Amino acid sequence: MSEPLSGISPAYLRSLDADQLSELSAQIRTFLVDKVSRRGGHLGPNLGVVELTIALHRVFDSPNDPIIFDTGHQAYVHKIVTGRADRFDDLRTKDGLSGYPARLESVHDWVENSHASTSLAYADGLAKAFQVLGESPRTPVAVIGDGALTGGMAWEALNNIAAAKDRPLVVVLNDNGRSYAPTAGGMAEKLASFRTRPGYERTLDQVKRTLPRAPVVGRPLYAMLHAFKRAAKDWALPQSMFEDLGLKYIGPVDGHDVAALELALTKARNYGGPILVHCLTHKGMGYSPAENDDAEQMHSPPAFDPLTGRPIASAVTTWTSVFSREMVRAGAENPKVVAITAAMSGPTGLDAFGRAFPGRLYDVGIAEQHALTSAAGMAMGGLHPVIALYATFLNRAFDQLLMDVALHKLGVTIVLDRAGITGEDGPSHHGMWDMSLAALVPGLRLAAPRDAVTLADLLAEALLIDDGPTVIRYPKGAVPQSIPALRQVSGLDLLAEPGAGHTTDVLIVAVGAFAGMAVEVASRLADQGIGVTVVDPRWALPVPAGLNELARQHGLVVTLEDGGRQGGVGAAVADALAGGNVPVSVMAIGQEFQEAAARGYLLGELGLTAQAVSRTITEQVVATAADTARHSGGSDSEGAGGYGEAADSGDSGMTREN
């Protein structure tokens, strides 16, 4: 189906009649199901915006009129109609088509966006720029879902947008009642009250067309009906709320009727000031497996059978599923444990907790800042809240973590899913910033489980801590095989040690899911006569006191972590060991935005594989031993093992400290 779509452009869309547009919409939906089924991606949101995207590009002059999609995961149709259909075979792969808008791909993509509730602020800034520079008529268009409208940043932007009555800006509210799951909150309930009566607008429009033609009583009755309609809308919809704020309101409009959309969008384009167009759409529209998926409408499925919608890969035990199980257990054991989700109860594993304890799961919408401070209040009131987020979204609530939770020394647990390199969603979704941020927070304890057993243990331990925030982080995907500790040494889990008669050359501090790799590295280096000890600190921040004692017994300390190397665990270890004679080599992710590609590929590029780490450590051991021999005549004056400063590997994913 890719060939008929390969030449589409906004100009081509404007040449089509109603029947051709209907046929094109069906073609696009078939195309999306076919392409996304091969390796996964955001399906449901894009099926829901086919007609809306077509209408936007028929009415507005992109890229002269910037069209900004909030979050951006619903921009696949936008990519198709701006000439990128022939690139969908490489969707979400290295150097392939991004799953989000990408400025390097097309002039039609203004924003590298994939965090929610930001589109209105971008559009506000663009509108101000066009006004200052005298570039008119140019109209920014922000397409925002009702889910993203639960974010506080969206309302901050609306407050500013509405203040300029003569500054053109169109807000398109794509109202499908969902983010991942059904949208929660008071505004969502108001919107939902209208969506439950889908025939309301059609019936009134039909009466509006016929009643004025009735003799004598027609027009008086029509006037009464119009007044009733306005009163009903004020009761059932947020029309009055938006208009009281200063935004002209149009709608609601059937989001799958191109003609109705064009009429509304044309009125909005010609208005000359801030205006909101309210469109009712259906996520997963036109593909029955998505429409019948009550949980997520196939929001972001893995590769699936396009005929059935069922995943192709066999089910595995994931980190998320282990957390889900343990939260239910914790909830049963402790009635003070409550859970908080930011519109993602399913993806973060809290659905089961919500079913088991329906009064103890709080969906705050896409509002991570509110989630943290609300959790602080819960902790003040005697509860122990557990907030489950994707690691990338902790960035959005750092101030609340620092000033509202940590400053008050409150027992709040934050569980971070999809930490580290996550893969195909690209730079905005790699969860590589969390440990660097967490290390800045006084009194915060961070744990990184290495397997299912330690995840269960660490969660249980975190729920007993009531004098400061705790963070538990783990990556995306399947849980590795359990790695039992040989024993505890200085309060650390010992995972590997040199054989009898071997020297203690290197101490590897393995953080979380890198523990298995560290054990493999130890085995590889043992074959080369290098003695390696591997420890898992379990609670990686603050640095365990016992690590200092253990480090003095080795010639080189290597930290191995799936996070940013600056300010992370490795940096904290180097700082803790500063002033000693043992060099510390930090092997982590370079502090730069990582591209979209498979996790394994990116880790290989960063030098974070067993083979690459083994080679780097070997080079450091040889180089530092030679350096020591040259400067000390072979004496042991440089410290245990005779090592000096660790050599810089030169790899972008590694550095040296201390």
Strands 584-589 and 654-657: antiparallel
Do the Cβ atoms of 347 and 321 come closer than 8 Å? no
Q: For residue 229, indicate whether it is catalytic.
A: no
The residue assigned the tokens 């397997």 is 451
The neighbour count for residue 374, using CB atoms within 10 Å, is 19
Distance, CA of 214 to CA of 442 (rounded, Å): 75
The residue assigned the tokens 């809290």 is 350
Distance, CA of 62 to CA of 68 (rounded, Å): 10
Q: Cα-flanking dihedrals φ and ψ of residue 333, to 5°? A: -85, -30
Nearest CA to 320 out of 463, 539, 473 is that of 473
The residue assigned the tokens 């959790």 is 375
Do the Cβ atoms of 419 and 474 come closer than 8 Å? yes
Tell me the two tokens of residue 655: 């550095």
Give CA separation, 487 vs 33, 102, 448, in Å: 51, 49, 18
Report the sign of the C-alpha dihedral through residues 351, 352, 353, 359, in that order: positive
Residues 6+ apart with CB under 8 A from 590: 564, 565, 606, 652, 653
Distance, CA of 616 to CA of 355 (rounded, Å): 49
CA 141 to centroid of chain Cα atoms: 23
Catalytic residue among 396, 418, 450, 565: 396
Nearest CA to 92 out of 499, 508, 601 is that of 601
Q: Cα-flanking dihedrals φ and ψ of residue 222, to 5°? A: -65, -40
Q: Cα-flanking dihedrals φ and ψ of residue 524, to 5°? A: -60, -45
Q: For residue 296, indicate whether it is catalytic.
A: no
Reported residue count of the chain is 658
Secondary structure element (H or E) that encloses residue 13, with its range: helix 10-14
Q: What single-letter DSSP state applies at residue 647?
A: P
Per residue, the 3-state secondary structure of 275-305, as one string, reads EEEEEECCCCCCCHHHHCCCCCCCCCCCCEC
The verdict on whether omega for the bond into residue 252 sits within 30 degrees of 0, i.e. cis, is yes
Residue 408: what residue type? H
Do the Cβ atoms of 471 and 416 come closer than 8 Å? yes
* Start-to-end CA span in the chain (Å): 58
Nearest CA to 81 out of 63, 104, 95 is that of 63
Q: For residue 396, indicate whether it is catalytic.
A: yes
Tell me the two tokens of residue 261: 């959309």
Catalytic residue among 291, 368, 638, 645: 368
471 forms bridges with which residues in the sheet?
414, 446
Residues 6+ apart with CB under 8 A from 228: none
Q: What is the largest CA-CA distance in the chain?
A: 114
Report the sign of the C-alpha dihedral through residues 17, 21, 22, 24, in that order: positive
Q: What single-letter DSSP state applies at residue 178?
A: B
Nearest CA to 168 out of 119, 134, 127, 126 is that of 127
Catalytic residue among 233, 283, 360, 538: 283
The neighbour count for residue 35, using CB atoms within 10 Å, is 23
Q: Catalytic residue positions?
A: 283, 368, 396
